[in-house]
Chain A
Amino acid sequence: MKKVSLVSRLFTALIFLFLYVPIFVLIAFSFNNSKSRTVWAGFTLKWYPQLIHNDTIMSSVYTTLLVSVIAALVATVFGTMAALGFFSMKKRWRAPLLAVNNIPVMNADIVTGVSLCLLFVFASSLFHFNLGFGTLLIAHITFDIPYVILSVMPKLYQLDHNLVDAAQDLGCTWTQAFFKVVVPQIMPGIVNGMLIAFTMSIDDFIISYFTAGSHGVKTLSMTIYAMTRKRVTPEINAVSSLLFITVLFLLIVLNVREIRQEEKLKRAARLQK
């Protein structure tokens, strides 16, 4: 492999700078001793404790986490079931079903959002309910499931069918074979799908905006959007910085663990030689 040139390194560095400058600005201004978003008025930590007393922000953080966790879990269960079902079908049936499954992935978020909005408004006039947490959750599950299916399907294709037969030959019942052989093998796909679903839910603004109704159910994105139309308080910078640091920390832990495991494997491989 050739060495990467200095110009290439510089290019990479500039792009990362471009990606991270706004984030640094956000974090820096969460320590700013004034509500201005451009003038630095000295260092303070006051926005962090104030955050806890800001009900709008706290309740929207709670809504976001609740809807993302429930939607990701529900989507993982139903998505995995659906992937197994699709996989066992003939191609004639599977292809059109996968095409419909892809609609929310391929469609622009705003189209998914307004079409669900129409459906919910239509249904609410028939059955007399209000748009709120329920409709928000349904919308999130709807756009989460396709990602679970798209990440479980490839694992099913890689599955070696002989293994299931072998397990059954060795006396497993069909159900035992399924849970002891199939599930562990597709587990990486399931976990990956759940993570993607959770990320999509946390990050979503547009679909939530059209499906949460106007009765005070707000995700963090919606609260931030409402604020950008008037005035953003530094508390929102503080809550975002906290979330960012949490994710950064989790990723570092995961990466370090992975690197350790790799090294362990390498050492084990060397010992075997």
Chain B
Amino acid sequence: MKIKALSAPYILWMALFVAAPIVLITVYAFTTSSGEFTLNNFSRMGSYLPVFGRSFLLALIATVICLLLGYPLSYILSRESPRFQQIALMLIMLPMWMNYLLRTYAWLSILENTGLLNRLLSALHLPTLNIINTPSAVVLGMVYNFLPFMVLPIYSVITKIDRSLIEAAQDLGAPPANVFRRVIFPLSLPGVLSGITMVFVPAVSTFVISQLLGGSKSMLLGDLIEMQFLGTAYNPHLGSAIALVMMIIVLVCMLVMNRFGQGEEQAVIL
């Protein structure tokens, strides 16, 4: 009885600062500035379809690239010596301690038309690249920022796979490719699903990366929402509606994925 009461302050806190804001955003999405009910905020969203499309497409591409780089990396790391693994993990987490805006800004110095990469290329008499202010630069920024979120959950699941299962498969004559395909990969799936969520959600809603690396042409959902709250196009009602729709699409995606993973991913996040 006594112990249960310990959670009372936090339950109150959640009601005030987790539940109430969500209710408020829903109310805002369905009202006008004078407080009347409206669906206008949603019907106006049609003109923003290209922004929705671009955000989800770029986030999807970034997630796939993160998976293609992150899975092999996690797998390779899990086969290294414990000391190596410890140092490598530390090196993967270390960049997170340096402000990500600044790390993204550093890419600007590298990718600019007169930036470090192009200087290097022209010094080697190679053709220069025009990456900055294109969608590729935004995808690169996303992959760079969110790759650790893909590696960490996959790595933690792969290292926990029971070695005897792999040995059993080998003893029963499975070639290495089959051991991977039929034992290791299925068992690492919860980590993969959790990695996908942890990369996709921040990627689809970012507004800093696109502003820094994408120039003015590649506006994403995050930019659009930010503009409605703190930017030039002040309209929190429309902003709430966009945020709500984005939240719902992301939730539905995650529910579908949870179905695939039979809800196992929850345990993997931390």
A151 part of interface (Cβ distance < 8 Å): yes
Provide a sorted-by-A list of 27 A–B residue pairs whose CB atoms are within 8 angstroms: A11-B73, A19-B91, A26-B98, A38-B115, A81-B10, A84-B6, A86-B7, A100-B14, A101-B18, A106-B251, A106-B254, A108-B250, A109-B202, A110-B205, A110-B207, A117-B229, A118-B25, A119-B24, A150-B270, A205-B101, A221-B101, A228-B101, A244-B94, A247-B94, A247-B97, A251-B94, A259-B83
A209 an interface residue at 8 Å Cβ cutoff? yes
Contact with A along B86-125 (1 / 0, CB 8 A): 1110111011111111111111111010111001000000
A37 to chain B: closest residue by CB: B109
Which residue of the partner chain, among B97, B105, B115, B269, contacts A202 with CB atoms under 8 Å? Answer: B97
Whether the pair B96, A199 counts as a contact (CB closer than 8 A) is yes
Interface flags, A109-146, vs B, CB<8A=1, else 0? 11110111111011000000000000000110110010
Given A97-B7, A251-B94, A119-B229 contact (CB < 8 Å): no
Size range of the chain A interface in the assembly? 35 or more
Give per-residue flags for A68-108: 1 if the beta carbon is below 8 A from chain B beta carbons, else 0. Answer: 00000000001101111111110000000100110111111
Q: Which of A1-9, A43-51, A265-273 contacts B (4 or more CB under 8 A)?
A: A1-9
Additional pairs, 8, CB under 8 Å, beyond known A114-B239, A243-B98: A19-B144, A26-B103, A29-B109, A37-B108, A84-B3, A85-B3, A111-B205, A237-B102
Question: Are A110 and B76 touching (Cβ within 8 A)?
Answer: no
CA distance A73 to B165 in the complex (A): 42
- When C-beta atoms are compared, the residue in chain B nearest to A77 turns out to be B9
Chain B interface mostly: helix
Do A228 and B98 touch (CB < 8 A)? Answer: no
Output the nearest chain B residue to A110 by Cβ-Cβ distance: B205
Interface residues of B in 239-255 (CB under 8 A from A): 239-240, 243, 246-247, 250-251, 254
Residues of B within 8 A of A105 (CB): 269
State A202–B116 Cα separation when bound (angstroms): 29
Chain B neighbourhood of A225, CB < 8 A: 101, 208
* Contact partner, A103, options B22, B80, B97, B212, Cβ 8 Å: B22
Tell me whether A12 and B73 are in contact in the complex, defined as CB-CB below 8 angstroms, given that A85-B4, A118-B236, A196-B270 are known contacts.
yes
In the complex the two chains form, is B269's CB within 8 Å of A150's CB?
yes
Q: Which residues of A contact B239 (CB under 8 A)?
A: 114
8 Å CB contacts to B: which residues of A252-272?
Answer: 255, 259
Residue in A closest to B96 when the chains form the complex, CB atoms = A203
Residue B45, interface by CB 8 Å? no
Report B74 CB to chain A, min CB distance, Å.
11
Known contacts A107-B247, A210-B230: A203-B97 contact under CB 8 Å: yes
In the complex, what distance in Å separates the CA atom of A110 from the CA atom of B119? 36
B56 on the interface (CB 8 Å rule)?
no
A248 to chain B, nearest CB (A): 7
B44 within 8 A of A: no
- Is A217 interfacial (CB 8 A cutoff)? no
Determine whether the beta carbon of A78 is less than 8 Å from that of B13.
Answer: yes
Give the B interface residue count (CB, 8 A): 83
Q: Does B19 contact A (CB under 8 A)?
A: yes
**Docked CA distance A119–B83 (Å):** 48
Q: With contacts A22-B110, A150-B270 known, is A255 near B4, CB below 8 A? A: no
Q: Within the assembled complex, what's the spacing in Å between the Cα atoms of A11 and B72?
A: 9
When distances are taken between beta carbons in the complex, the residues of chain B under 8 Å from A20 are 91, 95
Is the CB of A65 closer than 8 A to any CB of chain B? Answer: no
A23: interface (CB < 8 Å): yes
| 7 A-B pairs with the lowest CB-CB distances in the bound complex, closest first | A85-B7, A115-B21, A108-B205, A22-B106, A82-B10, A85-B6, A88-B3
Give every chain A residue within 8 A of B3 (Cβ-Cβ). Answer: 84-85, 87-88
Q: What's the count of A-B pairs with C-beta under 8 Å? A: 218
Contact of B212 among A8, A38, A210, A228 (CB under 8 A): A228
Residues of chain B lying within 8 A (CB to CB) of residue A221: 99, 101
Question: B97, A142: Cβ atoms under 8 Å?
Answer: no
Q: Is the CB of A255 within 8 A of B87?
A: yes
Q: Closest chain A residue to B28 by CB distance?
A: A118
Known interface pairs A115-B25, A118-B236, A145-B13; A244-B98 also in contact (CB < 8 Å): yes
Question: Which of B6, B90, B236 interacts with A255 by CB under 8 Å?
Answer: B90
Complex CA–CA separation, A54 to B134 (angstroms): 34
Nearest-neighbour CB distance to chain A for B265, whole angstroms, equals: 11
Residues of A within 8 Å of B226, CB to CB, are: 110
List the B residue with the shortest CB-CB distance to A246.
B97
Note all chain A residues with C-beta closer than 8 A to B104.
22
- Given A86-B7, A228-B105, CB of A203 within 8 Å of CB of B119: no
